Each structure stands twice: as structure tokens, then as C-alpha cells.
Amino acid sequence: MGAGKYIAGIAAVLVAAEAAGSVVAGSSSELLRPPGIQSEADFIARCIKCGKCIEACPYAALHVAGPLNGSAAGTPCIDAREQACRLCADFPCVAACPTDALRDVNKRSDPHMGYARIDEEVCIAYKGYRCEVCYRVCPLIDEAITLDFQSMERDDIHTKFIPTISKHDCTGCGLCVERCAVSEPYVPIRIVTLAEQAKEQTRS
Amino acid sequence: MSMDITRRNFVKSTAIAMATAAAAGSVAGMVGCAPRVNEPINGDSTTKTLAVCRFCGCGCGVIVEVRNNKVVSVYGDPENDSNRGLNCVKGYYLSKILYAEDRLTKPLIREDNSLKGTDEGFREATWTEALDLVAEKLRETWKADKSRLAFWGSGQQPIVEGYAQAKFWKAGLLSNNIDPNARLCMASAVVGFMNVFQTDEPAGCYADIDDADVFITWGANMAEAHPMLYSRVMTRKISNPDVKHYDVTTLGTRTSATADKVIMFGNNGDLAITNCIAHYLIENETYDKQFVADHLQFKSGTENIGNAYEDGYDKSEIGQAVDATQSITFEEYAERLKPYTYEYASQISGASVEDIQELYELFANPNIKITSFWTMGVNQHNRGTWVNHNLHNIHLLSGHYCKPGDGGFSLTGQPSACGTAREVGTFCHRLPADLVVANEAHRRFSEAVWNLPEGYLDEIKTPGFHTTKIFRELSNGNIDFLWTAHNNWAQSMSNLTRFLGRGAEDKRGIFDAFIVVSEVYPTISTKYANVVLPAAMWVEREGQFGNGERRTAVFEKAVDPPGDAMWDLWMLMEIAKRVLNGETIDGEDAFDRLFGQWYDKDAGEFKFGTQREVCSSIWEEYRTFSNPTLNERAAAINTEKKLKMEGKQLAPYEEYIYNHGMTWPVREVDGKWLPTKWRFSYGPQEEGYDQIGIEMYGDKGLRKDISFYKSADHRPSVVFRPWEPPAEIPDDEYPFVLCTGRLLEHWHTGSMTRRVPALNTALPEALLDMNAADMEELGIKDGDRVKVISRWGECEITASSAGRTKPREKYLFAPFFAEETLINLVQQEMYCPLSKEPDYKKTCVRIEKVGA
């Protein structure tokens, strides 16, 4: 238990440090935000850091972004590997938000916090192992994550069961990240947050 | 002994091996010359040994890498023909199962019986103390009343260990109170095979997948429960878009998700659907007439058999009549089928007329190859044996049998349910190699192999207690001594409310009986133990598994067990020598007569220097059952009584290592041992056909070059089995139908996989899958805790509509891996009256929101 918290703490610091780096680089935070976020800019403009969403989360999935996050310090964020958003039917975090920084979600498929991305080099499904944990835990199974069946070279009895993410349908809840069965050398699935997507668009 | 792992096709397999070794975190030894089993790799201290996965019945071969007496990685064995180099995510993390922190490393003796049911009240003991105590209690019970002792074994027990256990129980104690947990998964399949073919286990093999045009899964969530075989099914499907998969099921699963067509049924409708198919095959004259003429005989059996609500059911008038059959004509069989029109089958099952007709049309088409797979949905069924019959019936009538890609295949759930429970015969009614205690010739043959006086086994001609009977009588206070190994009965048995003594006051015998549990980790079962014997796990000793395609494979000892944990076989010898102390057989010391060739009881050690030699020596005796010419007395009985024991012929031990497993019957041709992939199908032995078997016992020139030489009159029995209802029908009080089963990440009761951090992260909690409409009606949200309540008991669980399984309205699914949920507190204890296998698929329950 103690070890778990210690590791979680390290993870949080790492997340914070990564975010801080991006602040230094002159862009806004890349943190994974609660459901109901519309865009990072909109969220930052509205969030008054009151912590009500954090208090409302029944899964304790929401945390306060630490001081290394620059102007984002004090805002709510999710460490998906530690505890993903469980897409509650009544979205208590959204209901608790007094400033509409979180808004406009009614059903499980409404939120768009980001989308999942798989590292094909590390994911064992790409090597032909029957894993696909991310697919089976997805709250929008067969929509946000589907399986693509790909033949394997020089192997006439195995097929790769490739988890394939629909950017459009994926809510970015991060349950796939929390549950991924691989952690060495690192977890091969992560959430590309709205802020990160905005930055990628700017670059391209 | 060293064996060249890559004896064949090193180049071909290297690509896979490289990929998998890299994936499993090791590339040691994968460059340069071929690595060799049990030999250090140049340049470091890594050794590689041959093994088989510890989990399911797929029986995937693996290579185990060891450094400093620790398993550092495990990866798929490219040369094991069952899987050729890949595993599922459980297999990927196999090395981790050995190393959880709470391994049992010391014998434990319960000092405080009032704490039974908890982890408290034990003290650590020496082996001598523990073994003396166990043997004293067993001997005491044995001398007082043999009906009050029992051993509950497993389809996870390695073959030679199961063989020695059965020999001790049947020949040493002259007791039939020995049964395996395979009773909970494969018994209906076994009785089906025995009734239809008079020989157990599928005729086909996994390679059937590569040739099939149509797959039909019947009550089988193969995508999760048989992951690597399902990968092979998908390979066949994507390589040929015309290949179709039909999923016939009561529940939407991950298997349904990839099927081309899902046919949903309920109410034991599988019996009606299969009879409907048979009816139209005959009515429309689309059955294979020559196949029927050449190969089949027809029967009917006892009907209206009710259910085993009472403990005394088996001995009741109907209970004793359930196995009876009578010969009928083909016309009489056709007549019995007539009520099974599409409309009637649809009305009973809930499947549409069109869907049932589509299934019929598959079987009516002689130009396609149909592979049916079935498993727990069929076997864990109050008419499980009958459904097995009916599936064989439609394949046989249509001639879709015994040819590559074309046949019925019963999938197995445990790594050695076939190899040990079924082939060795660790059941209460069986002897090794398809022999049964009730048959006089079978007893004579077994006496010959075991070097016993003629008639010695007549004392065990009546079968003992089957599994549910053992636990029913335990709860009734009628069992004084129970020893269990390689299973976790306190989690996997049905109706745990009764069997764990949490129900009626007069059903708490569990607290009075002396219970011995051989285990590797603490489980719920060890909480009820009086003595816990810490066992060597998986590759901490040498062993053998026989998988679902009749493949026998060896796993080598790779590392030493931790602490004082010991090989189960050593425990057995030490207990047997104490219990049999002073007993004689034919004037000779009883222990020496049975086990003296392997074990020196005075020295307390095996008579061979290595476990390889011990296993090989036991194997050689076991192999005599299927190679009767090795024993003159046995050979004479085999000939005189026409037992055809060579039908299951096994090879010398080393062949299984050298060949990375082989499928029986294994035949010696020109000094080489060759496996059989397609039993009863004539063709070159070299290509996997049953040439030698048919030349020895069968007939040539029959339809499709098939000869069912093990069946009576060489004709399998098509037995008419009608529709009869489930043991429980949903009503206002219990409106839901609950199905339990396995999911991919965890295996059975989770005692191994839940100790693998990655697997526990992947699936940390058992969820009750519900239909969203039912949840809304009951005011239940995702993540809410609910009570599942049946006539038998209740438990709490978290509800989900996330959709991993997709139950229809009024259907539910929950996995049984979670000790904290203990879903089997709720399960009914009804079993198929023929196979005595419990029905885990349709207990009627209601759902209540906790705190509502």
C-alpha cells in the first residue's frame, strides 16, 4: 500500500515535471482534464481552481495539478495510470463545476478529454500475443476501440488482434491506460490530451 | 539429458522465437547456434528448459529461461505444434506465478479448530509431523469406515502424479472415493464420448481449424477462454473471406463480437435446435446415407430424468436408470425427432426459425467442412451429456466427422483434464486408459498391469462418490478425511453457501472433517484445512500435461521449489508408506508391491537420481495400459477380452521431450514414433492419419475411409435425447438467469493470475455484467454494488453495463476468479444426472441494489 502510494507520488511528480517542461517551452499545460472540458484554452479561462470537481469525484480520479505546472497549478487533472475517469452516468464532477469549465456532457460517449494512442513497438498485441486488455476494458468497447485482425508474416496459425482506436469515439477516459498489462519499458498506451492535440495541430 | 529444442526447422522458427524472446524481455541465446535444453548458453549462466503453459487446456508449449535458479523469462515454444511459438497475456507473464510473496513454504498444522474458515489458528510444522498426522488420520478413517474418506484431485495434476495417486487410492486403499475437479468442466463431454464412441476425447485436432469452411461455437466463449486457438480461428477466417463463424450462445461474448452470425437461445434450447437439425436432415433426406449405413447404430435412453434436488438422487429409481439405453431402428429414431420442427425448436429456444434453418442448411451441405467447438455452456448443463450426444448426432448423421476441418471438437478447460483426469482416470468410476471399475475385464486388465492377484480389485467394482456427492456428504457430516490438491474447491464448487457450512445448521460437516490441502499459495481452501502441505509449483518439478487435442507434453524441472515446499509425488509416497505400513498384498509389503519399484520407503527417497528418471519409470508402467504387449498377463487379457487397449497408445517417455509433445495414439513405424492427428480416419500415419489403428482393429473401404474401431460393432451410437427443461425456470421472485465463467486475464479461481501484478492491474475486479435496460428498471448505475440472491445463497458484486459480455435482458454474467466476490455462494448444486457435472450457467437469481 505504502509502496503504491510512493510510486503514485513519483508518477505525479513526473507528470508535473513533464507539464512544467511544456510550460517552459512556452505553451499551456498538457494535463489530462476531467470530462466536460471543451478545449484547454476554454478550460483554463474558466477554471477558478475551486476544487469542487475533485471533491465530487467518487473514484478520487481527480487531483490538483502541482506547483510545477506554472499557471495550471491548482487546476484539476487525471493520472490515468493511477486512476482513470470512470465516466459516471451522472457526471458529478461536471455538475459540481460552478463556472462551466466542465459542461455539455449527458451520456457516457459525450466527453472528449483526448484520445488513446498505442506505441506499436511496445504493445504486445502487435507481436501476436492475445492481450487486448485495452479493448476489453474500454467503456465504449467496439466503438472507441475495435479490433483489427492482421495476418502475421511467416506464421500460418496466428493473427494479430490489433486494438484500433477511433479518435472520434474515444473519450480519453484513460481506463485503457490504467489497465494496460505492459509496463516495461513503459506503458504503451497513453492519452493524447486536448492541449496536446492543439499543439500538434499548431505544429502541422 | 539434453535435447535439441530446434531439432526441426530452426530457421523457420527463429523469426518467431526472436520476436517472442525479445517481447518477453530476453534475447539471450537467440543468436548463433541452436540453443539446447538444460545446457548453459555460452557466455552466461542462462539455461533453457522445455515446458507447457500452466493455465488452460490449449496446452501451449513454452521455453523457460533460468538464471541463478530463478525463472527469468518464459516464451512460446516454436516447436510445440499446439501453439508454435506464441501465447496469450497470461502465458506472457507465466514466470511471475512462481514468485508472489506469500508462497507456502512450510507445512502448517491447524491448532485451533474454532478458527477454521480463516487464515488463523495454524502453526508451522516439520514435514515429519505433518505427514505423520495426515497419515494417522487417513489410516484411522480407512480402518474405521472407508466410505468416509475422499481425495479431490484435478485436471491440473501432472500425469504421473495423477497415475500414482489413482493407484494408491484404487489399489492401495481399495477406495473409489477419488474424483477430480475435471468433474466440474469435462464430465459431460466424457460421458458423451463414452456413450457415443466407447472411447474418450475428440477425434480431431487443432489443425482442423486450418481446413474448416464453417466454425460453429456452441456455448463457448473461445475468444477469452481459449485465446490462442481463437487466434488460429481468426487466421483461417482472414485468409479466406468465405469462411463463416456462427456463435450459438445464451450470452453475447467477445466470441459473439467477431462471429458472422450470433444465434441467441435460452431454456435448454440447444437440445431442441440440435434435434431440429437432425429431424430435417432425415426428413429432407439430406443426411449422409452411406455414412449412416456403414457407421452408425441408433438408440434411445431413459427420459424424464428430473434433477438431483435430493442428496439421494443417484440411488433413486430414476437416478439409477439414467444411463440405460435401448437399440431402436433408424425409422424409430426419425419418428422421435418429428416433433422438432423449426417452429417448435424456435418456440422452445427463442432462436428464430430462419436462424435454425440456416444452421440446418450447413449440415445438409456435404460440400463444406464444419468444425463445431463446444465447451462449458454445453457441459455445465443439467442435460450436459445429452447436448454432447446431440452435437455428435448431427455431425455423424451428416457425415461431417473425422476428416480434417470437418468434425465435432469438445474444447477442454484445464492443462491436463485430458492427460490426467480422463486418460489416467482419476474419477470415482474409472481406471486408467478408458477402463472402468464396474467392468470385470477392465479390473482383470488393471490387476495385470499393477501386478495384483486376480480379483483383488473386485472390492472396488462399485463407483465411489463423485465430486458433488463428496461435498454433499462432507456437509452432511459423513466425510471424516478429505485431501485435496491442484484445485481450489472452496471457491470453485457450486453452492458454496452449503458446502462452506454457511447455510443450514445440519450442513456444517466441513468444520468437523479433517481436511488436508496441498497448495502453493493461501486460498480459501487452505482456510478450511487442518493441514496445509506446501507444494512445488509448475516447473519446480518435472511433470506432464495432456491438452485438449490429445497432445501429451513434458515440462522439465527448471528451478528448485522455495523453502520446504516439496514435490507432490514425494508427499504421496511418504503418506502412502505410512498408511500402508504393515499391510500386505499377496504376502508382500503392500507399499513395496505398488510403489517399491520407484521409491525406497526406508530411505525416504526415490530410487533414481533425477526426477526425469522417476517420471520416465512411472510413465513406462502407465504406458503399459496402452501398450499391453509390454506385460504378458495384460496382453493375454487384451486379446481375449478384445479391449483394444492400443487405441490410446502412448510412446516411450523421451519421445515426448524430443518431439515437443505428441498426440495419441502414437504409433511405432520403422523404429520411429508417429502421432495421430485424425483418429479413425484412414490415411498415411506419417501425415497424421490413423493408419495403424485401422489396420490393427478397423475396417477399410467404408464411407469416407473412416472406421470407428473402438466403438461397439464399430458403430458409434446415435442416441435420441429429447428436450427437457433447466433445473430452474425464471419466475417473479428469481427473474434473472446467471451464467458464470472465465475471462481472458484470469484463470479459474485466480490463485495464480491474481498474484501477477500486470494481470491484476488489467482485471482487478469481478463485475456483474447486466443489460442496461435491466439496470435502469432497477435503478442501478454502473459501479453500484448489488446483491445477487438465489434460492441457494447470496453475494455482493459491482454491476456493470460496460459490455465486455453483453447479456440480453434478464440474463447476467459474472466471472468466478474473485475470492472476495465468491459468486459460487449463489450457484445451484444441480448436476447432469448422467455426468454428475454441475450446471453453472443458469441459476435463477434476483438483483437488489445494496443499501437501497
pLDDT tens figures, B800-817: 998 899 999 999 999 999
Cβ separation of B238 and A159 shorter than 8 Å? yes
**Which residues have CB under 8 Å from B367's CB, separation 6+?**
none
What is the distance in angstroms between the Cα of A164 and the nearest Cα belonging to chain B? 15
Q: How confident is the model at residue B101 (pLDDT cuts 50, 70, 90)?
A: very high
Burial class (CB in 10 A: 0-12, 13-18, 19+), A161: buried
Q: Is A130 in contact with B230 (Cβ distance < 8 A)?
A: yes
Q: How buried is residue A24: exposed, middle or buried, by Cβ count under 10 Å (0-12/13-18/19+)?
A: exposed
Instruction: Indicate the angle between helix axes B384-397 and B187-197, nearest 10 degrees.
Output: 40
Q: B238 vs A151: CB contact, 8 Å cut-off?
A: yes
pLDDT reported for residue A23: 35
The Cα B604–Cα B578 span in angstroms is 11
The C-alpha cell that represents B705 in the structure block: 475411409
Q: Where is pLDDT greater, at B587 or B32?
A: B587
Q: Is there a catalytic annotation at residue B90?
A: yes
d(CA B502, CA B499): 8
Q: Cis peptide before B665, with omega less than 30 degrees from 0?
A: yes
Bridging pattern class, strands A114-118 and A189-193:
antiparallel
Instruction: Verify cis geometry, omega within 30 degrees of 0, for the bond prior to A185.
Output: yes
Q: Which of residues 117-136 of A touch B (CB under 8 A)?
A: 124, 127-131, 133, 136
Q: How close is the nearest chain B Cα to the Cα of A57, in Å?
A: 13
Known catalytic membership, residue B43: no
Contact A124 B763 (CB under 8 A): no
- Say yes or no to pLDDT of B465 above 70: yes
- Strand-pairing partners, residue B52, are B61
Instruction: Report CB contact under 8 Å: A157, B93.
Output: no
Chain A residues with CB-CB distance to B10 below 8 A:
none
Segment B62-73 shows an average pLDDT of 96
Asked if the Cβ–Cβ distance from B19 to A127 is below 8 Å, we say yes
A139 and B802: CB-CB below 8 Å? yes
Give the range among A20-24, B192-196, B341-345, B684-688 with minimum mean pLDDT.
A20-24
Contact A155 B85 (CB under 8 A): yes
- B186 flagged as catalytic: yes
The pLDDT mean for chain B works out to 94
Residue of chain A minimizing CA distance to B86? A129
How close A192 gets to chain B, by Cα (Å)? 21
For the entire predicted model, the pTM comes to 0.93
CA dist., res. B751 & res. B741, Å (int) = 15
Tell me the percentage of chain B whose pLDDT exceeds 90: 94
Considering only B14-28, B267-281, B764-778, which range has the smallest mean pLDDT?
B14-28
B376 catalytically annotated:
yes
> What is the least distance, in Å, from the CA of B25 to any CA of chain A?
9
Chain B positions touching A88 (Cβ under 8 A) are 781-783
pLDDT for residue B42 is more than 50 = no
- Give the number of other CB atoms < 10 A from CB of residue B734: 18
Yes or no: is domain B10-98 CATH 3.30.200.210?
Answer: yes
C-alpha pair distances (Å), B313 with each of B308, B387, B509, B833? 5, 21, 20, 8
* Cα nearest neighbour of B224 on chain A: A130
User: And the C-alpha cell for B717?
Assistant: 451410437
Give bridge partners of residue B374 from the DSSP assignment.
B218, B410
pLDDT surpassing 70 at residue B9 = no
Note the pLDDT of residue A29.
Answer: 67
Beta pairing class for B605-606 and B599-600 = antiparallel
- Contact (CB<8Å) A124/B23: yes
Q: Kindly indicate whether the domain formed by B108-185+417-617 is annotated with CATH number 3.40.50.740.
A: yes
pLDDT tier at B32, thresholds 50, 70, 90: very low
Catalytic hit among B165, B297, B380, B414: B414
- Strand B543-546 and strand B551-555: the pairing is antiparallel
B91: closest chain A residue by CA: A129
Task: Sort out which chain B residues have CB atoms less than 8 A from A159's CB and list them.
Answer: 231-232, 234-235, 238
Contacts of B234 in chain A (CB under 8 A): 149, 159, 161
Which residues have CB under 8 Å from B371's CB, separation 6+?
B204, B208, B209, B212, B214, B215, B216, B405, B406, B407, B409
Instruction: Map out the domains of chain B as residue ranges.
Output: 10-98, 108-185+417-617, 736-827
CB A104 within 8 A of CB A59: no
Q: How confident is the model at residue B429 (pLDDT cuts 50, 70, 90)?
A: very high
Q: Which residues of A touch B16 (CB under 8 A)?
A: 154-155
> Which one from B90, B116, B648, B704 is the annotated catalytic residue?
B90
Instruction: With beta carbons under 8 A apart, name residues in chain B contacting A128.
Output: 19, 86, 231
Minimal CA separation from A56 to chain B, in Å: 15
ipTM over 0.95: no
Subunit contact B763:A137, Cβ cutoff 8 A: yes
Decide if A162 touches B, using CB distance below 8 A: no
Q: Which of B3, B186, B264, B571 is catalytic?
A: B186
Using the beta-carbon criterion (under 8 Å), do A129 and B86 form an inter-chain contact?
Answer: yes
Extended strands (E) in B174-264: 178-180, 214-218, 244-249, 261-264
Which stretch of DSSP H or E encloses residue A177?
helix A175-179
B185 catalytic, yes or no?
yes
Yes or no, beta carbons of A136 and B254 under 8 Å apart:
yes
Q: How many CB pairs under 8 A join A and B?
A: 117
CA distance B813 to B116: 31
Cβ of A130 within 8 Å of Cβ of B89? The answer is yes
Residue of A nearest to B206 (CA): A157
Q: Give the model's pLDDT for residue A21.
A: 39
pLDDT, one tens digit for every residue, chain A (204 residues): 334 444 444 444 444 444 443 333 334 568 999 999 999 999 999 999 999 999 999 999 999 999 988 889 999 999 999 999 999 989 999 999 999 999 999 999 999 999 999 999 999 999 999 999 999 999 999 999 999 999 998 899 999 999 999 999 999 999 999 999 999 999 999 999 999 999 888 877
> Mutate which of B86, B230, B232, B747 to test chain A, going by most A C-beta atoms within 10 A?
B86
CATH topology of domain B736-827: Barwin-like endoglucanases (2.40.40)
| Chain A residues closer than 8 Å to B258 by CB | 147, 149
- Specify the higher pLDDT residue, A76 or B29: A76
Q: Is B413 a catalytic residue?
A: yes
Chain A: closest CA distance from residue B664 (Å): 22
Nearest by Cα to B543 from B551, B535, B529, B553: B553
